[in-house]
Structure 1
Amino acid sequence: MMTINVGVLLAVVVVMRLRRRTQARSRVEERNTAFFVLALGIVIAPTPLGQGIFNLIHQLVTGVSQAGT
């Protein structure tokens, strides 16, 4: 029996969609790509990788915010 990780599948779909030329995309295709990226973020968020990315972005934003004051 073969299993497919949903996060990996969504990542492959996002990469394939983003490789297309920008001029060839319609608004519907761009909306679908945004939906896939959002779904990938929701799937990755509760994982240790997602938490690490969140912590990294949080530290970056905090540093930029403190540097601006």
Structure 2
Amino acid sequence: MLTINVAVLLAVIVVLRLRRRTEARSRRDEKLTVVIVLALGVLLAPTPVGQGILNILGEFVGGVAQASR
């Protein structure tokens, strides 16, 4: 039986949608992309990968904030 991780499937869809030219997108298409990305974020957030991304971004933001002082 083949199982597909929903987060991986959404990541592939996001990559395919973002590869399209900007001029070819309608407002509805852009809104759908935002909803898909938000759903991907909700699925990734509680996972170890999501926590790792959160930690990396937190360190990056902290470094930028210290550099700007």
| TM-score bucket of the superposed structures, by smaller chain | over 0.9
Structure 1: unaligned runs, 5 residues or longer: none
Structure-2 residue corresponding to 1:48: 48
- Between the aligned residues of both structures, percent identity stands at 62
Query: In structure 2, how many angstroms separate the alpha carbons of the residues matched to 1:8 and 1:51?
Result: 16
Large movers: runs of 4+ above 6 Å: none
Structure-2 residue corresponding to 1:66: 66
Equivalent pairs, count = 69
> In angstroms, what is the RMSD of aligned CA positions?
0.8
Structure 2 SS opposite 1:30: helix
Q: State the Cα deviation string for residues 4-46 of structure 1 (Å, max 9, x = none).
A: 1000010011011111111010000001001111111111111
Structure-2 residue corresponding to 1:32: 32
TM-score by length of 2: 0.93
